[in-house]
Amino acid sequence: MSRWADGRPRDWAKIAFLAASTDVARACRDNLIRHYGNVPLHEAHVAVCLGGDGFLLESMHRVLDLDIPAYGLNCGSVGFLMNPVSEMDLPERLSRAQETQLHPLRMVAHDHAGGVHEALAFNDVFLFRQTRQAAKIRIEVDGRVRLQELICDGVIVATPAGSTAYNLSAHGPIVPLTANILPLTPISAFRPRRWRGALLPSNAAVHFTLLESEKRPAAAVADFTEVRHVTSVSVKEDKSLRTTLLFDPDHGLSERIIAEQFSG
């Protein structure tokens, strides 16, 4: 039986079903509610999320302060973070599910108007140019300048869970969940042309300074929060926060991250 962190057994009778805005997800939610009922999210012991990876990420932010786990059922396309859809034996699947705890990245972005914006990201934080001109970015790690000037379309700091998303598309490395490593990956680097990024310890503090930021404007994105015309961006993992994801025993996230590295 799955248990809370303090040792109490979890009660899977109180389920909040959350669905993406697609017909498939909504139909699946309606069928599950007929079988198992539904409670408001603030009363639930687990959130069952119906949709794709993007919807699950959004749901993870919603449950962050509620101390309840999220269990994704794939009603989307890729569904890397999701479990296979089945309307049978859901409480039993939940009781056998494996837990994976994820810590978010905290982004602090400053913009041209003097505004300060904070946001959390379970996937990644990335900077990206807003116009036809490449961005120029200085990169500091733990207060030390590591790259004086990166000319690029952008740059990504990913979590291990997010290393298979945008980071992988930008040819960044896949990182196992237990590695305590954050990939730092350039997006279409022009200079230095051969720089392929870095692997940073999970407690590293990364600071980006936008050079020539008025001439070469860039936006910063933390999951689904976007800040435009940034002048500087700081990124650090927030160990004080966590969300728990549930995976079927034969469908664990660590195994999928390893398997992804051997796929074509």
Give the domain range for residue 193: 105-237
> Do 197 and 251 belong to one domain?
no
Specify the 3-state DSSP secondary structure of 83: strand
Domain total of the chain: 2
> Do 217 and 132 belong to one domain?
yes
Q: Can you give the pLDDT at residue 103?
A: 95
> Do 189 and 225 belong to one domain?
yes
> Do 200 and 98 belong to one domain?
no
**Measured distance CA(50)–CA(31) in Å, rounded:** 12
Q: Can you give the pLDDT at residue 4?
A: 47
Instruction: List, as one string, the DSSP characters of 150-217.
Output: EEESEEEEE-TGGGGTHHHHTTPPP--GGG-EEEEEEES--BSTT---EEEETT--EEEEEETTTTS-
Q: Can you give the pLDDT at residue 79?
A: 77
pTM of the model: 0.86
Does 7 reside within a domain? Answer: no
Write down the residue that tokens 């991250």 correspond to: 257
53 included as an active-site residue: yes
> Do 19 and 68 belong to one domain?
yes
Does 132 reside within a domain? Answer: yes
> Do 86 and 46 belong to one domain?
yes
Does 2 reside within a domain? Answer: no
DSSP 45: S
> Do 51 and 19 belong to one domain?
yes
Supply the CATH number for residue 153's domain: 2.60.200.30
Cα-to-chain-centroid distance, residue 20: 17
Could you tell me which residues come within 8 angstroms of residue 120 by beta carbon, excluding any fewer than 6 positions away?
A: 61, 64, 104, 105, 106, 107, 222, 223, 238, 241
Of 112, 102, 135, 123, nearest to 222 by C-alpha is 123
Q: For every one of its 264 residues, what pLDDT tens digit does the chain have, with 9 covering 90 and above? A: 455 454 545 667 799 999 999 999 999 999 999 999 999 999 999 999 999 988 999 999 999 999 899 999 999 877 788 999 988 889 999 999 999 899 999 999 999 999 999 999 999 999 999 999 999 999 999 999 999 999 999 999 999 989 988 999 999 998 887 789 999 999 999 999 889 999 999 999 999 999 999 999 999 999 989 999 999 999 999 999 999 999 998 766 677 777 777 766
**Measured distance CA(152)–CA(217) in Å, rounded:** 12
Cα-to-chain-centroid distance, residue 172: 15
DSSP 10: P
Handedness of CA 79, 200, 258, 173 (dihedral sign): positive
- Candidates 30, 53, 238, 250; catalytic one: 53
Instruction: List, as one string, the DSSP characters of 218-243.
Output: EEEEETTEEE-SEEEEEEEE-TT--E
**Measured distance CA(215)–CA(217) in Å, rounded:** 6
Please state, in angstroms and as integers, the Cα–Cα distance from residue 48 to each residue in 2, 18, 223, following that order: 16, 6, 20
Cβ contact 90:246 at 8 Å: no
